[in-house]
Structure 1
């Protein structure tokens, strides 16, 4: 049985590899804005979970043609601050605005997860869940923020920060699961795999 990651995130791939799994990667290419726009006033948890589900469902046919027996895992992360959901900033200007909001504050990093088990190319089990971790941000100087944005790292990650990269210098601490902040919660994924009848230890490489 193959573990298939429906994500192009190098951070998620790194978490899985460090935890003993060498996944196949099939990128979904889901239009996240379109998925979000189709949801009627979703809660933060509903939003990240729906996006994770969309990513998995988008690759099922492709995966079934490659691996008849597989578990397909998708994730989506966003930072919630003052009731606003903050995804990937995309531009230096938006990233700078985000850090003006984050400095010295605490935000909730939510990661939605979806798992589908395929047997003989057909879905035989589905499970979803989410995890929320409180992230306490430092108050970096304007020069530090400019230098961080100049690296390009915060532009394409939820909330404009990473825990496992240069952004880690500006995180004072977290309350919750570190792997979830990086992009995929190992404890939650293990539980979701069990819900579809798969033991994570059987997937270790």
Structure 2
């Protein structure tokens, strides 16, 4: 999870650790709060695997008089990022991972985005049915506050299902027709079609004589 986020942010520009942590918290703070304790081990691991380079302190890498190591994505790191962004299996549908994948949907292939959205919706629909079933079975055993809390949870799930359905419909509407290259105009002539000859005139708009 953290590996994906770090590689995705470094694909935009090189950053030192302090700046990277700020960007992580800004982009992903809603879903997860990152700390230096988790970030720097991840950066060392990525550097050891040649996914990033760790450049020594420079004038541009100093902040508040302290030296900062600048991390840059390598060609291998770009390949690794592409592989991670191409994954759309069940792990991408879970609560925390889905939020992080969604934050980087702009870098994700359209087919993978749709697969993740549909998987996430299916997962929530299963959860919704379980909550409904639990409310029906245990309604008489809960006090009014506990019931209200469960209703609130159910409403949250239903709201996200509606939101996901809207996103899925938008993704499908934006997808190019199957088998048609996206750069082909709807008015492009079919192969082998005969084009009508260009009209000629006498230069004054009248048809030629003879």
The TM-score, its normalising length taken from structure 1, stands at 0.24
> Which has the higher Rg, Structure 1 or Structure 2?
2
Q: Name the structure where helix makes up a greater proportion of residues.
A: 2
Which one scores higher on RCO, CA 8 angstroms, separation ≥ 6? 1
